Structure 1
Amino acid sequence: MSLIKSSAKLYYDCSNNFNFIALHKEFGLKDDFGTWYRLTLLHIWMILTRLQQTMEAYSYCYVKKMVTQNFHHDKTNRYNTVYKDQPSLKLKRRSNFRQLYYDVYMNSLFEYDDGFLGDDKYLAAAVWRALYLMEDEADIIYIERVVRYIRATLHFLDKIDTEVLLERGLDNWEPADDIVKKRVKLGEN
């Protein structure tokens, strides 16, 4: 499979194959565009972190570039869809839309990389800064759940052969599926 197709599939898996509803509830996040953006970015970072370990540098950089391009195109399309019926709100937000989301993108990748290299305290601080955008009211219980989710997901991804990941993508995010099963068992939606 070509790296172009692999990148498109991996991006699709990062943006659509995790259970958004279960994760935003489990992590105490709002059900909105910004949360979708930040959770998708987290999944992109996890996939790219996994691929960077085993891919040849040029191929990895190409996949990263293509996944990022797909992400930014999709983000813009979704944004336009969300605000299509509210033109005045869309125009107000549009003026700083690109810069704001680009800043969140760059900052999040840096924060997650930095946090990943440290222990769970460092990763928790990175999650608070990148996913919760330094909200004073962010509950440490939710942040701890995200840290456990990241560690479990990276462990899950490490078990998948790189060629298989590039060929087939990721049909499910097993740790996210476990969260869904737990919520169903507890009778939560």
Structure 2
Amino acid sequence: MACRSCKRQLLTLARQANTPVAAELSGALLGQQFHRVATKPIAHQQQRRGFRSTPTRSGIMGSIRNTIQKSSEPYRVVAATKEIYDACSKAAPYKIDPIAIKAGTIPKTPEGEDIGEGKGMWHDDFKLPPTFSTWSQVTMLHMYLVFARLRNLDRDAARSWQAQLVDHFFFDAEERMDLGHGISSRGLRNKYLKDLFVQWRGIVAAYDEGVAKNDAVLASAIWRNVFKAREDINIRDLAAIVSWMRLSLKMLDQMPDEALFTRAGTALRWPAKNEFAVVDKPTRVLADQLTPNNSSLAGAASSG
């Protein structure tokens, strides 16, 4: 027999879960759930207990398990989205020398952004500068892929996951502004964060349009956001990123909902530069038109 304090705590937990389990547990634990069976009208009525309505031990344990799981769901979502966000934010890392910031000797882009030090695929293979803008755009690009997958969940669950994922990003962005770039003014950071939020909303709309329409529209959205509409962009880079986005969306779509808690970040580990092999491969129409000499020349030009 459970003590009175344990019963009270268990019933409180069931009520907090906002499920019908509370009533079932109350009757099961306190022995107050009885079923009155009316008999023929006689001098007195006989009470009989309806054993079908009495929860079994397995039923009680299942109810408790479901209650605890629902109560802990928000905490699981926070932990899972933090792990997913960490995978997104590590795609294009960069560092800013704090001594150079204090001395005012840090190099700047033509737009006035601080240029740091960064290594990795997005800096080396796609020739993106190691700046806050590059980091935020590449991070939001990865976030969008997960953001789109979360739409397959129930509406309330999808909103919870998406809100937590976005919160992780903006908390990290503000911390980078403060500690990495020396922006100590909270008002100035809030101004930049508002601009960043507008960019995020525009990115979701632009990538949605590209995914729904065709690769050309999606490549245009990547060119405007990630590459800032540079005129010297390599079309081969855009094609590889488009192919990588399509592949990542497919991998995330094939992942069960429960796997999002543990394996969502694994779908983002496939490097976008690996899609160069797909981009450099001629289509069937071009393969029929290209001669062996032209095909070898095209391969040499792409490798160079």
Structure 1 length-normalised TM: 0.79
Q: How far did residue 43 of structure 1 move?
A: 0.6
Q: Does 1:61 align with 2:159?
A: yes
For 2:249 and 2:124, locate their aligned partners in 1 and report how far apart those are by CA, in whole Å: 21
Q: Does the aligned pair in 1 maintain the 2:177–2:189 contact within 8 Å?
A: no
Distance in 1 between the 2:230 and 2:191 partners? 20
How is 1:38-77 mapped onto 2 (pairs within 5 angstroms)?
38-53=137-152, 55-77=153-175
More helix by share: 1
Contact 1:10 1:169 in 2 (8 A): yes
Bigger Rg, which one:
2
Structure 2 length as normaliser, TM-score?
Answer: 0.51
Q: How many Å apart are 1:171 and its aligned residue?
A: 4.1
AA aligned opposite 2:265: L
Q: How does 1:1-189 map to 2 (within 5 A)?
A: 2-16=76-90, 18=91, 21-53=120-152, 55-84=153-182, 94=189, 96-171=191-266, 173-176=268-271, 179=274
Q: What is the SS of the residue equivalent to 1:163? A: coil
Contact 1:24 1:31 in 2 (8 A): yes
Moved more, 168-177 or 117-126: 168-177
| Aligned-partner Cα distance in 1 for 2:250–2:240 | 15
How far, CA to CA, are the matches of 2:209 and 2:248 in structure 1? 17
- Note if contact 2:252-2:264 (Cα within 8 Å) is conserved in structure 1: no
Distance 1:134 1:177, change over 3 A: closer
Q: CA deviation at 1:174?
A: 3.5
User: What secondary structure sits across from 1:170 in the alignment?
Assistant: helix
Farther-moved stretch of structure 1 (141-150 vs 97-106): 97-106
2:10 maps to which residue?
A: none
CA apart distance, 1:177: 7.7
The 3-state SS of whatever aligns with 2:166 is helix
Is the alpha carbon distance of 1:103 and 1:135 closer, same or farther for their aligned partners in structure 2, counting shifts above 3 Å? Answer: farther
Deviation at residue 77 of structure 1 after TM alignment: 0.5
Q: Distance in 2 between matches of 1:46 and 1:119?
A: 16
Listed one character per residue, the Cα deviations across residues 101-138 of structure 1 (whole Å, up to 9, x for unaligned) are 22221211111111111111111111112222222332
Question: Aligned-pair RMSD on alpha carbons?
Answer: 2.7
- Structure 1 counterpart SS, 2:232: coil
Identity of aligned residues (%): 21
Extract unaligned runs of 5+ from structure 2: 1-72, 94-119, 278-304
How far is 1:56 from its partner? 0.5
In structure 2, what is the Cα distance between the partners aligned to 1:19 and 1:32? 9
